[in-house]
Structure 1
């Protein structure tokens, strides 16, 4: 009789979140669980079933992104039992899953698969997570049209937040961003929709950095030259936020606050007050939470000693 061994795999995945109701499974129930094609976790589990393991694959996400949020490099782990007692080759998992998602036209890609120790947990062992929010500032006077009629590059739709304004002080925004770094109680920046309003809300933000960004493509091929806004009319900025963990919609509300500072709607002192007096009552109502489509999970970082245990093939290490 063949002795079946459990093997645990770490998957690095990317996805476009526009068509998903979030990363975490929403269809619940006892085993065997119903398929959940509306979430990233559900789609991953459906793809893993195509490998015909003798157990029902249960994917554990390292980060639970909201509906509409994208991921450039997220992680998850899964335990698989193979019927012949052999291990699945990590590279085989990557190839088979990507073939499945391509055939089903699902916007998920597996970047890399590792064989990992049985006690490794993709979420609990994560050292930090880095998010990116993409901004494009459009000058209304440069476009010479009403703000709601400006020409947005179609390749950037649902990938970036466009702000049409003549008032945007990036230097003031950068100065205010440093207020978020360090240990703070971010209750003010946690959306009211959190399912656990009594949870601990103190977090350490390692880094908030704002750098000049780039468009996804050159607009010179998108519009005739006589009607194309020049690249100088769009100023892209990338806002990076790194921490060990985040509260519900924390990053989006932090970015919204910084945008409000840049536009002169609030001051750095207002942000400082929201951090020093953590309460939903101190949130300034004219700060509007930025939409999900500009947010990307960039990376989930693990300690070097953990990474040293990952194996990407049956023969050896990385």
Structure 2
């Protein structure tokens, strides 16, 4: 990245320019290469260091239009970024706030990862951690905050992601699961669902399982699925999928097909046949995308080198406990 962080030297920005203490770029000459006037000398320039910080964020996506920044309707990135702007007094362009992935509207997260930069250091991260959670609504929480090495990038350093999709398989829906699990009133055959899920494991072209991309979501359709497990917890089924990366709505499309297979509407061997076509229209003949509210981004995985802490940095903040030294209310 070329940025300097705690314990490292502070080179010029990637543009090659030096930046003054107030962040404004200056030139060694006064216009087109002319020698500077000795009477009006340009102030000496200094490189502004940049410190990088990593956040792990959990959120209930029920009332939000996904992660990606937009002002209306509100998104997770917008609210976290606005809180950072208030706390750091920096502009959006200065923070360079980036998330590991774009969860869609209604999708939840337990382990979303993001990073931002500041031109100043923190002696302790507990105060900014508490301030962030104090400004954010209760359905968005920063789980921890830590210093990051210059090479770390929340999105481009990611080596894998883990998603869970929950299905409540009973005639009557548990009202406490209604925002976090899809309700299937059809009795699902988990044995054939597991058999079908095995066909997804490995390196495949998942073009047949991707919706039309939005914005810059044009990615390599070849992905590796490391595992695809189906865990039964009473009426609740938890589909756990871990892969090198995922295309737009890929997980929800895979789950939708497994639901059809679990209902025994189509056989398990339909999966490799659809994969081979590399055609989204072929999948549409059998299944539509599963609803977003059952999906949760559980974790983002990185190489250990990218997760190491810079030397001399403040300790990672996991939040602080509050204690009461003396009870002010009488016991009865």
The verdict on a shared fold, with TM-score over 0.5 as the criterion, is yes
Correspondence for 1:52? 88
Specify which of 57, 81, 87 is matched with residue 13 of structure 1: 57
Higher mean C-alpha displacement, 308-317 vs 266-275: 308-317
1:58-137 matched pairs, under 5 angstroms: 58-82=96-120, 86-87=121-122, 89-101=124-136, 105-137=137-169
| Structure 1 residue 106: Cα displacement | 4.8
Unpaired runs of 5+ residues, structure 1, are: 28-35, 140-149, 215-234
1:177-256 matched pairs, under 5 angstroms: 177-192=197-212, 194-195=214-215, 199-213=219-233, 235-256=235-256
Length-normalised TM-score, structure 1: 0.78
Q: Secondary structure at the match of 1:171?
A: helix
Deviations 1:40-87, CA, capped at 9 Å, x for gaps: 1111110101213344333101011111100011100001234xxx42
2:176 corresponds to 1:176: no
| Structure 1 residue 198: Cα displacement | 6.2
Summarize the Cα distance change of 1:53–1:277 in structure 2 as closer, same or farther, 3 Å threshold. Answer: same
Q: Secondary structure at the match of 1:180?
A: coil
Alpha-carbon contact 1:9-1:116 (below 8 Å) kept: yes
What is the CA RMSD across the aligned residues, in angstroms?
2.5
For these two proteins, the number of residue pairs brought into alignment is 272
The structure with more helix, counted as a fraction of residues: 1
Length-normalised TM-score, structure 2: 0.75
| Structure 1 residue 5: Cα displacement | 3.1
Summarize the Cα distance change of 1:62–1:274 in structure 2 as closer, same or farther, 3 Å threshold. Answer: same
Alpha-carbon contact 1:55-1:80 (below 8 Å) kept: no
| Structure 1 residue 116: Cα displacement | 0.8
Higher mean C-alpha displacement, 66-75 vs 86-95: 86-95
Higher mean C-alpha displacement, 293-302 vs 152-161: 152-161
Question: In the aligned structure 2, how far is the partner of 1:98 from the partner of 1:128?
Answer: 27
Correspondence for 2:13? none
2:295 corresponds to 1:257: no
Alpha-carbon contact 1:130-1:299 (below 8 Å) kept: yes
Alpha-carbon contact 1:7-1:87 (below 8 Å) kept: no
Correspondence for 1:266? 266
State which structure, 1 or 2, has the greater radius of gyration over its C-alpha atoms: 2
Correspondence for 2:325? none
| Structure 1 residue 306: Cα displacement | 2.1
Summarize the Cα distance change of 1:311–1:288 in structure 2 as closer, same or farther, 3 Å threshold. Answer: farther
| Structure 1 residue 299: Cα displacement | 0.3
Question: In the aligned structure 2, how far is the partner of 1:91 from the partner of 1:74?
Answer: 20
| Structure 1 residue 113: Cα displacement | 0.4
Correspondence for 1:314? 314
Question: In the aligned structure 2, how far is the partner of 1:206 from the partner of 1:312?
Answer: 36
Question: In the aligned structure 1, how far is the partner of 2:316 from the partner of 2:284?
Answer: 54
Summarize the Cα distance change of 1:53–1:246 in structure 2 as closer, same or farther, 3 Å threshold. Answer: same
